[in-house]
Amino acid sequence: MIGDCRTAALVSRDGSIDWLCWPRFDSPSIFAALLDESAGYWHLAPTMPFETVRSYIDDTNILQTRFQSPSGSAVLTDLMPVASEEAKRTLLTPDHEILRIIECEQGEIDVQMRLEPRPDYAGQPPSIRGAGRLGIKIETGEGLLVLRTDLPLEHVGASGVRASARLRAGERRYASLTFADEWPTILPPLGDWSQQAVTRSVSWWQQWVSRITYDGPARDAVVRSALVLKLLAYAPSGAVVAAPTTSLPERIGGDLNWDYRFCWLRDASLTVRALFGLGCVEEADAFIGWLLHSTRLTQPALRILYDVYGNMPDRERILKQLGGYYGSRPVRVGNAATEQLQLDVYGEVIDAVAHFVGTGGTLDRETQRMLSGFGEYVCKHWNEPDEGIWEPRSGKGHNTHSRVLCWTALDRLLQLHAKGYLRGAPVADFQRNRELIRNDVFERAWNKDIESYAARLDGDRLDASLLLLSWYGFEDARSYRMRKTYARIQEHLGAGNGLLFRYRTADSPGEGAFGICSFWGAEYLALGGGTLEEAQAALERLSAYANDVGLFAEEIDPQTGDALGNFPQAFTHVGLINTALSLMHRLGGEKPLERTIPLRQPQPSERKARV
């Protein structure tokens, strides 16, 4: 994956950009060969048979693909250029650009470039025409693409562009694709200018990574996960999208294909803890700002997902023109889960705010009123059935995880009040309901027959989300009930080698092991449910399931280790980071998950959350 914190593109092992939505994550695609071979791609690779090895330039999101062929080797560098604010003040740079540089390292090698844009999920024919020295212009309904390259052009036609060259050791060729929708496009020169764009981008990413304070186990995997989160954070608003893709199947050939290019409130608390834990304070603050701002239109009720600016995603629809990944149909855009009720989101949002306060942030009066409003909503609705964390389309129920998160919401609000961050809250009401919820969960969620907490009150099914009861501080990881629950989950949901299914019901038959649930299992051990060695081994085992450049999808096929579902998935990387953080704290003799909110002591330079 390459990106510029506004959108991302996926590059295949054979040098083809097979997924790109411009100008933002949830825009219609320009390349979607990932979902249908005829839906557009940008291929640049040797013409002869080759083998590839891929890696990112250290501490960056700049991808390098090395091609080894019988006659020579070449390296392809792919990036979406980024630059510091200072550089942007002094340079005219395109709003959106993909830059590809291919260099022959050894021998000689014939390379070919094929560009076949198919705008609007291949629903719209592109208008392609040569514009002389300005490049090749491709009009789409959304804006203008301009291709500029110093590869000799072979063909410019209605369906695409083809160019090729023979490169000898040391020779480089450049290709730049820009997109403009609001104003005249910027046409970057090639050659030295492109090299400078690479240098600026390397420097920008490496400076960003230098702010990461993490120094614990699996550092490389943690830094790569941080870079994935940074790419999936939409810079203009601070929102973090779940994944840059839609409809990559949870089961190959199946219909569990959803659009993940939106922001789920469910992920809030875990994501904020990961960002703060890594020292990415700016990103965490921006995300909190988005959380509080984006939800204003629906408050005190919260939707479960929003787009990057806090609007409702488009109505879910099926794209019949796309055949799907390995025939996995339908391909969906938009997300119907937006209409569901998930009571857990209140706990997740409020816990995220508690993390913010725990790292020195303060809350203005309007935010305090808003949080109190959330608390009052929870008091009124906590005992209602909801769809729950996994958004099944099989109906509502009394979900244990949702109920515990309602407890979390009130517990954190009471803590914030006790420490002076929250004024005017109906404390007695919050306390009374917190106790009611606690008793409800203790009495009805614990199943004596199976000796485990159950996914639903008075039920007997298991769900990996129960591992979070310790994470949210509802029950100590070392308690009898949690140890038993962990054992039952391993027994019934274990997929081997540390992998866990999220549940086993008719809702998602045949889906893979769930990435973040597997990391929850490892983090449970780090939180005290297991020994240090057990937790460390679990983290190492799970980290090995990343692809060749360290990325995780939503799910993992337990048999083959292949990625399943949308890719890469922020939630899975959040799970890896949080596990590593808990482990690092435990190794350092600290409490693995510090939840103490300090007494409020306003300082002149305090970070304030405003709506």
Q: 102 has which bridge partners?
A: 76, 173
Tokens describing residue 58: 């250290």
Tell the burial category of 593 from Cβ atoms under 10 Å away from its Cβ (0-12, 13-18, 19+): buried
Q: How far apart are CA 557 and CA 563, in angstroms?
A: 6
Nearer Cβ to other proteins (126/324): 126
Position 432 contacts other proteins (CB under 8 A): no
Tell which residue, 488, 383, 519, 356, has the closest CA to residue 441.
Answer: 383
Nearer Cβ to other proteins (143/575): 143
Total residues belonging to the chain: 611
Tell which residue, 436, 424, 439, 434, has the closest CA to residue 368.
Answer: 424
CB of 340 to other proteins, least distance (A): 32
Tell which residue, 22, 24, 26, 18, has the closest CA to residue 6.
Answer: 24
The Cβ-side half-sphere exposure at 2, using a 13 Å CA radius, reads: 31
Nearer Cβ to other proteins (1/180): 180
Position 544 contacts other proteins (CB under 8 A): no
CB of 284 to other proteins, least distance (A): 25
Q: How far apart are CA 151 and CA 166, in angstroms?
A: 10
CB of 184 to other proteins, least distance (A): 4
CB of 160 to other proteins, least distance (A): 21
CB of 3 to other proteins, least distance (A): 20
Nearer Cβ to other proteins (139/384): 139
Position 142 contacts other proteins (CB under 8 A): yes
Q: How far apart are CA 472 and CA 194, in angstroms?
A: 48
Nearer Cβ to other proteins (188/568): 188
CB of 151 to other proteins, least distance (A): 15
- The site string for other proteins over 171-210 (x = CB under 8 A, - otherwise) reads ---------xxxxxxxxxx--xx-----------------
Q: How far apart are CA 119 and CA 26, in angstroms?
A: 13
The Cβ-side half-sphere exposure at 469, using a 13 Å CA radius, reads: 32
Q: How far apart are CA 367 and CA 244, in angstroms?
A: 30
Nearer Cβ to other proteins (141/152): 141
CB of 119 to other proteins, least distance (A): 12
Tell which residue, 18, 537, 563, 576, has the closest CA to residue 250.
Answer: 563
Nearer Cβ to other proteins (187/611): 187
Tokens describing residue 256: 């569990």
Nearer Cβ to other proteins (93/547): 93
Determine the interface stretch with other proteins among 52-60, 139-147, 257-265, 399-407 (rule: CB under 8 A).
139-147
Q: Give buried/exposed letters for 229-250 (b at 16+ CB in 10 A, else e).
A: bbbbbbeebbbbbbbbbbbbbb
- The site string for other proteins over 79-108 (x = CB under 8 A, - otherwise) reads ---------xxxxx----------------
Among 3, 15, 143, 249, binds other proteins (CB under 8 A): 143
Instruction: Please report, as residue ranges, which positions from 108 to 137 form the binding site for other proteins (by CB under 8 A).
Output: 131-135, 137
Instruction: Please report, as residue ranges, which positions from 11 to 40 form the binding site for other proteins (by CB under 8 A).
Output: none
Tokens describing residue 175: 């290709």
Position 49 contacts other proteins (CB under 8 A): no
Nearer Cβ to other proteins (90/210): 90
Determine the interface stretch with other proteins among 44-52, 114-122, 142-150, 464-472 (rule: CB under 8 A).
142-150
Nearer Cβ to other proteins (179/374): 179
Q: How far apart are CA 156 and CA 283, in angstroms?
A: 43
| Number of residues forming the site for other proteins (CB under 8 A) | 30
| Binding footprint of other proteins on the chain (CB under 8 A) | 88-92, 131-135, 137, 139, 141-144, 146, 148, 180-189, 192-193
